[in-house]
Each structure stands twice: as C-alpha cells, then as structure tokens.
Structure 1
Amino acid sequence: MLPKLPIGQQDFRKIRTSGALYVDKTQAIHRLVTEGDYYFLSRPRRFGKSLTLSVIKELFEGSRELFEGLWVEENWDWERRYPVIHFSFSSMGYKEVGLEAAIERALDRKAAEMGLELSGQGISYRFQDLLKKAAREMPVVLLIDEYDKPLIDYLDKDNLPTALAHQKILKSFYSIIKDNDANIHFLLITGVSKFSKVGVFSDLNNLRDITLSPAFSTLAGITQSELEAYFGDEMDLIAAEKEMLPATLRADIQRWYNGYSFDAKNFLYNPFSLLNFFGDRQFNNYWFASGTPTFLVKLLRERNVVQLDNIRLDAVAFNSYNLERLETYALLFQTGYLTIKSLDEFRIYTLGYPNLEVEESMMRHLFSEFRHEEVGASGPTVIDLRQALYANDLPTAIEVLDSVFQSIPHQLFLQKREAYFHSLVYLTFRLLGIYTQSEVNTARGRLDCVVQTPTHIYLFEFKLDQSAEAALEQIHSRGYADAYRQSSKEVVLVGVNFSSTHKAVEGWKAEQVE
C-alpha cells in the first residue's frame, strides 16, 4: 500500500511529518550544496523545483528529524546551521499591491521571522540590510523560487509594458546579491524560463546555470528506477485491477508521463502527473489541465507554428533572453511542452513532445485555437472523422473535413489562407491518433497525410483553390503509393480541393490502387 500521496504539496516538512511519500533526492541535493554556491535552475512548472528548495531549507536549518531514513541523514553535519532566507514570487501578491510593494512586504515579513528590524527606503536597500543583519553570525542561505513569475504572467502583447517594468524592478533587486558575497553561503534561484536571465541577473556573473547540466539532470522529476522502487508494487496492483499485464501498464505509464530530458540521456516522469495517476488510477491530462498555456497557444497560432516534432536547435537557441522577441522553441522547451530527444556530436539538440499527455493536449488546444472554439468541442469532430474512415465511408469523412473549415472566421482565414489551410489540415489528421502520419516525406516529395485503419490505407493530398484532379495527379506523378503497394490492406488515393472563397471542400476524388 502506497503512503499518502503529496499531490501538489511543496512543503518538505509537511510531507515528512504527515507520513506522505517522498522520493529521496537528498544525495543529488547534497552534491548540489557541497560542490558549489551560486546556482540557477530552470524547470517546467509542477516539476519539483519548490520541493527541492524546501528540502534545502530544512537541510541548512539542521532539521535532522525530517531526514530520518534518507540518504543525507548520515552524510551531513547537523550541528552546523545557517540562517535561511526563502522567497517565492508565486505567493507575493504582486498583482494586488504592485511588485515593489509586494517585495518590500516579503522582506519585512522575513525580517520579522528572524527577529530583525530593517532600515532604509526601497527594496534594494532593505534587501541589503536583511542580508547584512541575517549574516551577523553565519552567512545566509538564499533561496528564491519562481523568480520569473512577475514576468511570465505578463508576456502577452497587451501586458508587455508591465513585464518590462517588472524586469527593471527585479534587476535592481537582484543586483544587491553581487556585492554581498561575504554574507551568502549558498544561493539557488529557480524558475520556469531563462528568457529574462540576462536582463535580470546581468550583474551575477558567478551564477552557475545547471539547467542543462548532466550532473543535475535528475534533481527534479522521477527516474525509471525511482518509479520501480517507490511505485512498483502499486503498479502491479493497478495492473491486476485493470486486468492488464504489469509490463503493459508500465509501458502505458511511460508513454503518457515519461519523456522529459535535460541532457538527452536521462528521461524523467512528470511528478505531478504521476502522483495524480496513482491517486486516480486513471490516465488523464493532469499536468496540462493544471495550467492551460493560453498565451503560448495564441502565440503559436499567430506565428503559424503547429509542427513541434524533430525541431533541431543549437545550445545558443535555448537562451531566449528578450521579452520583446520571444524565441518560440526555446520558450516551449523551458515551459515543458517540448523536451530534448537527442544531442548529436555537433551539439545540435533535437526537440519534440515529451509524451502523449502533452502532445494530445497541445494538439487539441491548437486545433481549437485555429477553429476559434472551445477545447472540448474538438473531440466529436475528431471522433466522427475517425469513425468514418474506419467504416470506409469517404463521403462522410469529407463532410467532417468540410465542417472543420466552415467554422473558421472568414476574415481570419483570408488573412493567412495558405498557411492557415495547411496548419488546420495538419492538426486535424494529427489528432486522429497513432495510425495517422501527417506530411509524410518520400523520395520525391511530401504527401499530406496517410491514415491506416484495420482494413485500408488512405493517402490524402490536399489542394487549395486548384482541383481534386490536380491533387490525385500529384500522388500519381510522385509515386506516393509505391511504398504501400505490398500491403495486404486496400490502398485508396484521395485528392481533395478546398475553396478559400467559400471555406469549403469544392471537390474530391478517390481511386483504389490495383
């Protein structure tokens, strides 16, 4: 029987005193706090950053009773204690009172907790005073969580001036750290993104960024070996309940929630989704649903970015620094919607979706964003299309495709008709599932879509403001069907032409390959 699951719990003390499950990360944390002193770590939301900081806080405060039975218990000097200053920007309330006032409140609150009284006006002076007074006997441990929250909350175009104003305030606040080296024993700053790192921390040239460091790639997130060690028996029980083979259940869990990597070697499970799965015993989109990326989805539509597989970038691209010119793929990686799939000898990274949860959810949100409808409305459309194809009912399948384009606001479609058309076709067929390949590369070109059912293989080619005959002719002239002629299934070629004027299917033709 599993211990209590700490779903959404980020306080190490509460987890340990309540008897909840804690996956022991203290060996990696010990390495972090003993090998260096000034760190920056970027990880997606709900990935264990806040809990890591909470563990470090209790470690430096000497709370040995909380570490009973953990690796670090016998590998730490419990007599040596440090004052800890721990801030989390997610709980500062800056939206209500303004960022400067919120920071000043947090400084005063921390000073009161430590029995100190601050002097001076302004957050920089008061922060300086707090560090100096807190370090009178021992240098302080400074832990700052979600440093970028006051920025990422205001990234959309309408609120960009607020984000830029916040960046200046944070730069002033953090500039104090550089001149307080003697007062700081250890520093860890965490956040989701790095896009503001240069603007905010430009004075902290001794801040070590461990985001892509192999040495700390498994500091947050759950490894395969940790999954087996802590959840192995529970997986066997769930497999029995569902009348599945244990290996099949494990493969499904991996497909849904594994896949995050920050070094192209270690692949991690999302802890939030994993804990929710074991709590509910159902596969669901837990992480994605906990914070829908409305801003990102709109940005992807505006930039017409829908293909998020096999993205190749060099290391420089990961450092998306400019609030006014956000790098699409770097931002998607930092926020957890893309992850590292591989790294070649030329230091080129290949990015893609980490797992089924993220891929399916992002596709549905993009599909709905392009159609200007609620996310839940996309489900019936996809199901209707899948059922029609599985029944070999092409007329109904074409009717469903027609309805997809009819739903687009006319003016929006006219503005970007060619790009919009191809993006929506791509998303529609990607949502059909695992037996669908969109934009399939061949030796002589790229076929728009291949759909395989138990009995048929459909090769689709789509045209805009041309003709169904032209679409079929392209399939023939480029030999797209050659790779499928040996299949035991019936191979059907389908050419479809859309009218941008009427936003509708203007004609279609199908041929069976003999």
Structure 2
Amino acid sequence: MKKLPIGVQTFSKLREGGYCYVDKTELIYQLTHRAGDYYFLARPRRFGKSLLVSTLKAAFSGQKTLFKGLYLENNWDWDIKYPVIDISFGRGIVESRAILEQRIKTMLEEHAHAFGIELRNENLADRFAELIQKLEQKYQHRVVILVDEYDKPILDNIDTPDIAMEIREGLKNFYSVIKDRDAHIRFALLTGVSKFSKVSIFSGLNNLNDISLEKRYATLCGYTTDEIKQIFADYLNDVDFKTLGNWYDGYNFMGEHVYNPYNVLLYLDNRTFRNYWFETGSPSFLVKLIQKRQYAAPQLEQVKISERMLSSFDIDHIEIETLLFQTGYLTIKKVTQQGPRRIFQLTYPNLEVKMSLAESLLTGFVRHPLEQEQNLSATYKALQQGDMNALKSVFHAFFASIPHDWYRKNQLAGYEGYYASIFYCYFTALGLAVTAEDTTNKGQIDLAVRLDNNIYVMEFKVIGKTGDAGSALKQIKDKNYHDKFLGTGVVIYIVGVAFNKEDRNIAGFEWEQISH
C-alpha cells in the first residue's frame, strides 16, 4: 500500500517531488479572463481558499515554473508580471479595532518594504491607496489585490457585538479603497467564510461579483469524485468510496458536489474515518445561539430559506440558518422556484458534520464529557438490543441531572422542541440513520431512528401534571405512523414519550413492538 506523501496540496498533479496536486488552474484562467475585475468567494474553513489565493498570486507574479504540466502553463501570458498585494487576516485573533489597524499597518509596511516603496501617508486608507498607486507607477502594470479571510476579524468577535461592529467599520474603511482605486486595479478577489451585506462592509463596492454559488465555479475549492479517483489512484486500493462519500462528500455550491479536501487528505494519510474538519474549530457561538433562540435541533433536517437569507447576514441580525450554511454545517439539497423567488432546501453535507454538530449541541446540556460518553454508549446499547426500559432509564437520569438553576434562566421546560432535540442529538451523535419530521400520509413522525434491523418510530409530547402520559403513543397508533415500515423486514418499535413541564422529566414512556 503506497502511503500518501507529506505536504499534499490542492492544485496540480502527482510529480516526482513527492507532492500530490489536483489541477484547478483552468477554472482560475476562466475567472481571471472574464468581464469584470472584482470577485468574492465564500467557502467553509479548510476548503482551500488560502491555497487558491496563493495560486493566483503565483500566476499573476509570473512564477511559471510552479505551473509545469498544468493548464495555465500554456494558457497564461507569462511575460507580464503584475504587482500583487496579498492581505490575509488568518493570522491570530484580532480583539479590537486598534489591533486590527495595527495589523493592517504592519501588512502594508511589509508590502512596501518588499517592493522597495516608501509610504508617506499615516491614515490607513490613504496608505493603502498610496501603495496601489505607487506599485502601478513602478511596474507599469495595474495591481492585483487578493484578500484572504476578509471576515475573520469580525467572526472572531461575533459573540461580542460591540467589538465586532467596531472592527466591521475599520474593515469597511479599508475595503472602500479598492473601489476608489478602480482604475489602478487589474483583478481583485476577496475570500472568506461568511458573506456580510454589501451595505455593512462593502459600501461603494457595487461591482463586487459574488461567485460563491455560480455553477461554473462550484468545484473551484474542494475535490470531485472523479478528481479523487484520477489524482489519488495509487492510494485508493482499499478505499470504500461509499463510506468515504458518506463521511466527507456532499457539499453543494450549485454545481457538482464536492468533498472537503482537508478531510480526504487526512483520511488517505491515516486510513481512519474521523471528524477531522470539526476538530479544527469549535462552533461554540453557533451552539449558544441555537440554545438561546430555542431552536429545535430536528428542524435542521428541514431548513428552507430564501436566496436573500442564504447569501448575507450582519452582526446585528444573524439568522441561524444563514450562519449554518455559510459556515459549512448545512449545504444545499434542493432549489425550488416560487414565482420569481428561489427557495433553498438545506441539509447536512455528510455524516461527519451531522454527528459532530449533534455532539456539540449535547455538550451544552451535559456538563461532564465522561457522563456524555457514558450516556451515548448506553443509548447505543439499548437501541441495538431493543431494550426500551434501558433507553428510558438513560434519558430519565439525564433530565434529572440538569440543575434546577439552569431552567430558571430560560423557558425550555415547557418547550416540546427542547426535549425532542435532546433525543435527536443523542441519536445523531451516534451516527445513526435519523429522520426528523418524517412524512406519512397522515402526518409527520417526530423521529424515525434506524439501527441495524430495528426501526424506532417516536413521538414526543409536553404535558402538565393532569395531562395524559399515554397521549404520545396513542397518536402514533391513531395515525398509523409506523405503517410505512411494514413489510420491510425490520423490527418496528413505536415509542411515545411524554414530558411533565413542572417536573422537567419523563412522565410517560410507552412502547410496543409491532412486527419482526
């Protein structure tokens, strides 16, 4: 078995130097030779945005030797060497506007020193404009501007809105220079995770072309199935592509779906299916926002939003669904037309994201990691054995362990979605086949869960002290929710769970085995 070489990258093809590349340079040619000068690309973290920026810099600055054997080698004017200003906010965390301005000043000074230019203006915007103009004068070619992680200083402070807004204003002032120096710029690309509204951060830059959901650039970052099979052929002898796709494929940017390249490379190197992408960043702010807004986790299976919501948000108006999509936790499943409007149905891209997000949501409720792991193991064992009494004990003990003080800080005790979310997150974190709000001809099943040859059809109710503890199971039977699974050769369990909002725990846990 041939081991994947260290230093594997995103662009080009396998060569003697021990690097594995996927050639995306034809797409780069198309992007840099179309009408228009300013572009914006949003992709989740670890998708190769920084490498795309580096490749553009190498091409524009005339480093032909780096493109040997690639599309650009014979499809680029290598006689022209453009001056390139590449700005990256990926380094470190910007904790205030003062730190942001010092960071920008340092980057401008580094560029001036590298190009042998002296900058005289003190104001940052004027200093940036001066650098652009002097570079054009010195090299007699218009300037290329590449900004990587343009939004990171804001996202680093998203849970402290006052600081985030100050940083946003600082970035807005800086980016406005790009529009003001239009005549001096040959090409500009800004990349990031999120797309903030033009009014809030790109005011005046009205010719910024957002290519994030253009079909022709859908695979500009990320790997397609064919690319993996062609470029990594020597490393795929024992790879189960169905499982690989289930774990890491599924990202849809309105074209051919792509794998997360970071995950693929680490899997090929380690040969172990793990949550590689999720381990590199914690969605703590997202988890807090979901809990604060009492967003029912099962709703993540059926998200539908408009194009306007999909494409932008701002610090003082953050929609959970928009944030989930732009940060890579949800992707496009289907697009439907409602007259002139497009409606986007979102879903999890793959198993890694679905499992890991569910685990993160659980962590907000379970304070001790060991307890969470023990509960997960006990849940899996109970479902595997069809032991409903054991399953009831796990969840009853879990709800009993939540401190009373925690409920005083919110209104979740009377919220059906809260209890359903706990069950959903436990099952999903185990990597089980979980379907929320599964449609039948008589209504919607709250949860349908499959493990091996067992199907669990579950309904949840919140009741008062005098409520009917058997109402949840009764609804399943009255509406025959389980009928859709009859004749499929599986063991069907119907499970009704009622919660008492005063006791904040399970008041009724009834179940029946329907068939074998």
The counterpart of 2:247, out of the listed 244, 256, 268, is: 256
Change (3 A) 1:434 1:19: same
Task: Name the CA shift for 1:87/1:399 in 2 (closer, same or farther; >3 Å).
Answer: same
> 1:145 aligned to 2:140?
no
The sequence identity of aligned pairs, in percent, is 39
2:276 is the counterpart of 1:286: yes
Contact (CA 8 Å) 2:356, 2:429: kept in 1 or not? Answer: no
Q: What is the DSSP-based 3-state SS (H/G/I as helix, E as strand, rest coil) of the residue aligned with 2:90? A: helix
SS of the aligned residue for 1:475 comes to helix
Gaps in structure 1 of 5+ consecutive residues: 240-248
Looking at structure 1, the residues matched to 61 and 490 of structure 2 have their Cα atoms a distance apart, in angstroms, of 67
Which deviates the most, 497-506 or 225-234?
497-506
Alignment partners' CA distance in 1, 2:491 and 2:132: 74
**What's the counterpart of residue 177 of structure 2?**
176
Counterpart CA distance in 1 for 2:228 and 2:502 is 54
Q: Could you tell me how far apart the structure 1 residues matched to 2:490 and 2:18 are?
A: 56
| Distance change in 2, residues 1:93/1:470 (3 Å) | closer
1:371-406 residue CA offsets vs partner (Å, 9 max, x unmatched): 142556433312212212322322211101112212
Q: CA deviation at 1:231?
A: 1.4
Tell me what 1:246 maps to: none
SS at match of 1:462: strand
Secondary structure in 2 matching 1:262: coil
Q: Is the 8 A contact 2:359 2:426 kept in 1?
A: no
Letter in 1 for 2:265: L
Does the residue aligned with 2:301 lie in a helix, a strand or coil?
coil
Q: Give the letter aligned to residue 144 of structure 1.
A: V
Distance in 1 of aligned mates of 2:71 and 2:151: 32
Q: Kindly indicate whether residue 324 of structure 2 is the aligned counterpart of residue 362 of structure 1.
A: no
In the alignment, what sits opposite 2:406? 412
Taking the aligned partners of 1:48 and 1:59, their CA distance within structure 2 comes to 17
Alpha-carbon distance in structure 2 between the residues aligned to 1:170 and 1:436: 42
Shift of the 83–233 alpha-carbon distance from structure 1 to 2, 3 Å rule, reads same
Q: Does 1:273 align with 2:274?
A: no
Question: Residue by residue, what CA displacement relative to the aligned partner does 1:273-319 show, whole Å, maximum 9, x if unpaired?
Answer: 11111111111100011111111111111122212123222211123
3-state SS, counterpart of residue 86 of structure 1: strand
Check whether the contact 1:217–1:261 (CA below 8 A) recurs between aligned residues.
yes
> Are residue 60 (structure 1) and residue 50 (structure 2) matched?
no
Kept in 2, the 8 Å contact 1:144–1:189? The answer is: yes
Which residue is 1:90 aligned to?
90
Over residues 462-511 of structure 1, what are the superposed CA-to-partner deviations in whole Å (9 max), with x where a residue is unaligned?
33233332223222222223334445445443333333333332333333
Query: Partners in 2 of 1:445 and 1:319 — Cα distance?
Result: 32
For residue 32 of structure 2, what is the aligned residue in structure 1?
A: 33
For residue 76 of structure 1, report the CA deviation from its aligned partner.
1.2
Which residue is 1:401 aligned to?
395
Select which of 418, 421, 436 maps to 1:423.
421
1:336 and 2:315 equivalent? no
Is contact 1:339-1:351 (8 Å) kept?
yes
| Per-residue deviation, 1:98 | 1.0
Partner of 2:19: 20
Is the aligned partner of 1:381 residue 2:375? Answer: yes
Give the direction of change, closer, same or farther, for the CA distance of 1:296–1:229 in structure 2 (3 Å limit): same
CA contact (8 A) 1:429 1:438 kept: no
For the Cα contact (< 8 Å) 2:491–2:514, is it kept in 1? yes
Residue 510 of structure 2 aligns to which amino acid in structure 1?
Answer: K
**Residues 452 and 116 of structure 1: is their aligned pair in 2 closer, same or farther, counting only changes over 3 Å?**
closer
TM-score by length of 1: 0.90
Q: Quick check: 2:493–2:511 contact (8 Å CA) kept in 1?
A: yes
Q: Secondary structure at the match of 1:380?
A: helix
Distance across 2 between alignment mates of 1:276 and 1:403: 38
Q: For the residues of structure 1 that align with 2:430 and 2:256, how far apart are their CA atoms?
A: 30
Judge which range, 226-235 or 145-154, deviates more.
226-235
Distance 1:331 1:454 in 2: 34
Contact 1:154 1:162 survives alignment (8 Å): yes
Alignment correspondent of 1:215: 216
Distance 1:154 1:118, change over 3 A: same
Once the two structures are overlaid, the 10-residue window that deviates more, 475-484 or 324-333, is: 475-484
SS at match of 1:400: helix
- Separation in 2 of the partners of 1:343 and 1:215? 17
CA distance in 2, matches of 1:299, 1:122: 37
Cα offset for 1:235?
Answer: 1.1
Equivalent-residue separation in structure 2 for 1:389 and 1:66 (angstroms): 55
SS in structure 1 of the partner of residue 236 of structure 2: helix
Q: Distance in 2 between matches of 1:60 and 1:447?
A: 56
- Offset at residue 29 of structure 1 (A): 0.5
Q: Distance in 2 between matches of 1:100 and 1:17?
A: 43
SS in 2 for 1:308: helix
Aligned twin of 1:352: 347
1:92–1:106 contact (8 Å) kept in structure 2: no
CA contact (8 A) 1:195 1:326 kept: no
Q: Is the 8 A contact 1:460 1:495 kept in 2?
A: yes
Secondary structure of 1:104's match? Answer: helix
1:244 — aligned with what? Answer: none
Determine helix, strand or coil for the equivalent of 2:300.
Answer: coil
The residue identity in structure 2 corresponding to 1:223 is T
Contact 2:332 2:344 in 1 (8 A): yes
Decide whether aligned partners of structure 1 residues 311 and 86 sit closer, same or farther in structure 2, where only a CA change above 3 A counts: same
Contact kept in structure 2, 1:92 and 1:102, CA below 8 Å: no
Q: What is the match of residue 243 of structure 1?
A: none
Task: Tell me, yes or no, if the aligned pair for 1:83 and 1:138 is still in contact at 8 Å.
Answer: yes
* 8 Å Cα contact 1:17-1:66 kept in structure 2: no
Structure 2 Cα separation of the partners of residues 458 and 95 of structure 1: 48
| 8 Å Cα contact 2:146-2:189 kept in structure 1 | yes
1:161 corresponding residue in structure 2? 162
Equivalent-residue separation in structure 2 for 1:455 and 1:405 (angstroms)? 28
Task: Give 1:242's aligned residue.
Answer: none
Partner AA of 1:33 in structure 2: T
Rounded Cα–Cα distance in structure 2 between residues aligned with 1:257 and 1:79: 41
What is the distance in 2 between the residues matched to 1:199 and 1:292? 26
Alpha-carbon deviation of 1:435?
4.3
Deviation per residue, 1:72-106 (Å, 9 max, x gap): 10111111111111110112764486111111111
CA distance in 2, matches of 1:288, 1:93: 19
**Residues of 2 paired with 1:451 and 1:140: CA distance?**
56
CA distance in 2, matches of 1:230, 1:57: 24
SS at match of 1:90: coil
- Measured after TM superposition, the shift of residue 129 of structure 1 is 0.8
Name the structure 2 match of 1:444.
Answer: 442
Residues in 1 aligned to 2:250 and 2:491: alpha-carbon distance in whole angstroms: 35
The answer on whether the counterparts of 1:277 and 1:283 sit within 8 Å (CA) in structure 2 is: yes
